[in-house]
Structure 1
Amino acid sequence: MRDVLFKSIWRSAALGSVAILLNGCGIMSWFHSSPGPKTPPPLSKGEKQVSFSTQWQARLYGLWPIHPYQGTDIAHQGRQIVVSDASGHLVSLNDAGRQQWIRSLVGKSARGATIAHGVVYTGTTAGEVFAFDAKNGHKLWSVQLTSEVLTPVVFADDHLLLQTVNGHLWALDPKDGKVQWTFSMNQPSLILRAVSTPTVHDGVVYAGFADGTLAALSLSTGAELWHARVAIAHGSNELARMVDVAARPIVADGQVFAAAYQGNLAAYTLQSGSQNWSVPMSVYLTPVWFKNHLFVAEADGVIAEIDPGSGSVLWRNTRLKGHAMTGLSSCGDDLLATDNGGYLYAFNPKSGHRIGQTRLSSSGIQSSPVCLANHQILALSDAGTLYRIKLAKR
């Protein structure tokens, strides 16, 4: 019933917003219909510096709706690609796009799978975490948690890390899924249906929470080392007070960068969590650290470069303002982005100019572009087509 409601929210332009009470967890998860797909401004001949060519495309079957703020991760390791659909299927393909195996899950994997040391890990909306043999899809174990899993599983030094919709961060044993430790923060009454994927660096877990908090925890024990406020809720209603840290924290340049929806982009020292700088900015996609520079896609579709030392905006491209961006990444010398209109974009990271674009699908793209060897890219459409694209200079 809930899936039907989510689908109607997404497809109905007449609905501006809706809140849905999650069964048993006592909080409200927020969706609002993102801007309708838009056609981007055309590029002049002089601006076109990058071309895209399709190497192959694989049509996968199942349900593949894009939900606002919740893109799907494409897992890729060696010659294996693993994706998940919205009807609860986990699909493994080889690097030519041919299916190797498929498994049905209890619930659906909202954010995709993770491949680590020959094992595929994924969590589901039913609160279950699975481990499968990467070669044949044989189930190794499963474990039931207390709430809906809304992040990919992160493998780090004999720990599996993930977050659930009720504000809990879990560490599980990769061998059998047993709980090693848990950590939680107070949840506001209304949250985005997007949860920050934990980041691990030098034995420390950095995780964002729906109340606008960034926390640093010991990987081995889960003990809190420090926490900082990325954003402080303000406003006359619950919608205005939403400041979820939905983007994954980025550790680089001796700092940890965190971003909040309707909040700030900020940098903190790794050891103490003291704030180095903060810039008002609404962000839900994970920023990109690329060639010692920091790039962000703002919630309104604006792409920007931020000076990591001061937080100053070095350039801001507003040509796609009003577009619903679904991914941001890098490949080769270029910055890449995708949107819900089915477009793949390339930007010059030095100037911010758009230097290439192609429409992969008449439906949206629901994944950040994944960069492979030889300037090739994987992207997954809302219709369930997986594309392998070659990026070339003109």
Structure 2
Amino acid sequence: MDRKYKIPFALTILTLALVGCSSNKIKVEDAKPSPLPKLEQSKSLAPVFSESVSSTSEADPLRLQLDIDNGVIFIASPKGEVTAYRGKDKVWSKKVSKQGLSSGVEAKDGLVIVGNHKGQLFALDQATGEQKWTAQLTGAILAPSLVQSGRVVTVSNDGTVYAHDLESGQQVWSYDLPSVQFSLRGTSTPVALDARTVLVSSANAYVYALDVLSGVPRMQRRVAVSDGRSDIQRLNDVDGDPVVAGQLLVTTSFQGQVTATDLASQQVIWSEDASSTKRPEVADNKVFVAQADGKLTAYDLATGQQLWQNEQLLNRELSNPVLFGQDLVVGDLDGVLHLIDPNSGQLIGRAKTSGAVRTLRVIEGQLAVATRKGTFSVWQNR
């Protein structure tokens, strides 16, 4: 049986840095985070809600994102609890797993879906927190599930895609992604293409389109290439969630490219070198990418032409970028939320949370933030 090695992202970066040091005499201090630049303008964000749970390991890629549905905020703790809030008032809190929780929350169609390192998938009632069903998968669940068309679609860290019936929890189908010997520890979240199709990206730099009802593959397309010399340098996982923008599929990959693929023809429209494990943001005919080295880059969606690049946040371990109102927002290792002019790339403001920012989401018109330290917060524009 083939052995697979899951490599923490932080360890991979360190390994690559050491390779660089041995060949190019790069000094360790060159990788220090850039200091926060002074701002000519000073916009900020207004906090709406904040709650702290237990922290996660610095090397673990967990994305314990919160979710909001019908105005209720749902939070999962690494220690195994799920809590629901309406505003700042706690609605319910349930201990779900003694083995903890390792996936972010998916809240939709009356259920709250979470999973853990042991491959256990849990479905809770949104109104009461009562456990409706549980299912056992073959690998750790490190990314949120997707609820779509009566199915709960989940990717386990061993490369198996599962679909369970939303009401009963019965497994409907499974699909095995191709095995690779080395990959980053982490998976992207399944993404809906349409009512009948789910997109799943993989460690072999492919994106697969699966029929959500049957699991039958409808499309597979390679979206990245890598020409490194060693196994580590050839890693090009697609860990950032793919983004559907009209007829285009936009993807990022580690040590690979940001790529726009035409979904009708399945042909790559453009591809530019960029290493990222984060979901790109696509808005206003632009693609925004937070690269692994801290460069923040904007591309023209139609042509791939670089519109601007901001290098003021180098080595600050940027989160995924999101467009929130009129501003682009990205978080960093110090819990700083940077506000950026999406047209010029200029830094125009900042806000502060606690802990390295892992995920940003815009839900129901609010900015949802999750950090490694276990701080979950919701923000609005001032």
Structure 2-normalised TM-score? Answer: 0.88
Tell me which residue corresponds to 1:20: none
- Distance in 1 between the 2:95 and 2:258 partners? 39
Change (3 A) 1:371 1:142: closer
SS in 2 for 1:377: strand
Q: Match for 1:334: what amino acid? A: D
Q: Shift in Å at residue 99 of structure 1?
A: 5.8
Identity percentage of aligned residues: 23
Q: Match for 2:373: what amino acid? A: A
Tell me which residue corresponds to 2:211: 218
Q: Match for 1:268: what amino acid? A: T
Tell me which residue corresponds to 2:342: 349
Q: Shift in Å at residue 256 of structure 1?
A: 1.0
- Distance in 2 between the 1:262 and 1:134 partners? 39
Tell me which residue corresponds to 1:241: 234
Q: Shift in Å at residue 291 of structure 1?
A: 2.8
Correspondence list, 1:91-106, <5 A: 91-96=83-88, 98=90, 100-106=92-98
Gaps of 5+ in 2: 15-30
Tell me which residue corresponds to 2:380: 390
1:171 to 2:163 alignment: yes
CA contact (8 A) 1:70 1:193 kept: no
Tell me which residue corresponds to 2:41: 47
Q: Match for 2:3: what amino acid? A: G
Q: Shift in Å at residue 369 of structure 1?
A: 4.5
Change (3 A) 1:85 1:206: same
Change (3 A) 1:387 1:226: closer
* 2:301 aligned residue (305, 308, 316): 308
Q: Shift in Å at residue 66 of structure 1?
A: 4.5
1:301-338 Cα distance to aligned partner (Å, 9 max, x none): 11111111111111111110111012321211111111
1:75-126 Cα distance to aligned partner (Å, 9 max, x none): 1112211122222222222222536213232533323111111111112211
1:158 to 2:153 alignment: no
Q: Match for 1:173: what amino acid? A: D
Tell me which residue corresponds to 2:66: 74
* 1:327 aligned residue (315, 320, 336): 320
Change (3 A) 1:289 1:351: same
- Distance in 1 between the 2:56 and 2:246 partners? 37
- Distance in 2 between the 1:342 and 1:240 partners? 29
Change (3 A) 1:188 1:284: same
- Distance in 1 between the 2:49 and 2:207 partners? 40
- Distance in 2 between the 1:53 and 1:146 partners? 42
- Distance in 2 between the 1:57 and 1:225 partners? 42
Tell me which residue corresponds to 1:201: 193
Change (3 A) 1:177 1:235: same
CA contact (8 A) 1:90 1:105 kept: no
Root-mean-square deviation (CA, aligned residues, Å) is 2.3
Tell me which residue corresponds to 1:265: 258
Tell me which residue corresponds to 2:4: 27
Change (3 A) 1:301 1:186: same
Q: Shift in Å at residue 348 of structure 1?
A: 0.8
Q: Shift in Å at residue 387 of structure 1?
A: 2.7
Tell me which residue corresponds to 1:131: 123
Tell me which residue corresponds to 2:27: none
* 1:122 aligned residue (110, 114, 117): 114
1:171-210 Cα distance to aligned partner (Å, 9 max, x none): 1111122222222222211111121212122222221100
- Distance in 1 between the 2:151 and 2:314 partners? 40
* 2:352 aligned residue (359, 362, 380): 359
1:209-242 Cα distance to aligned partner (Å, 9 max, x none): 0011112222222222221212234333221111
- Distance in 1 between the 2:175 and 2:226 partners? 22
Structure 1-normalised TM-score? Answer: 0.85
Change (3 A) 1:133 1:303: same
Tell me which residue corresponds to 1:15: none
- Distance in 2 between the 1:201 and 1:28 partners? 30
- Distance in 2 between the 1:263 and 1:198 partners? 20
Change (3 A) 1:51 1:233: closer
CA contact (8 A) 2:285 2:302 kept: no
Q: Shift in Å at residue 282 of structure 1?
A: 0.8
1:350-379 Cα distance to aligned partner (Å, 9 max, x none): 111111112222x32233144544xx4332
Change (3 A) 1:97 1:141: same
SS in 2 for 1:231: coil
Tell me which residue corresponds to 1:368: 360
1:141-163 Cα distance to aligned partner (Å, 9 max, x none): 00111111222110111111111
- Distance in 2 between the 1:164 and 1:232 partners? 24
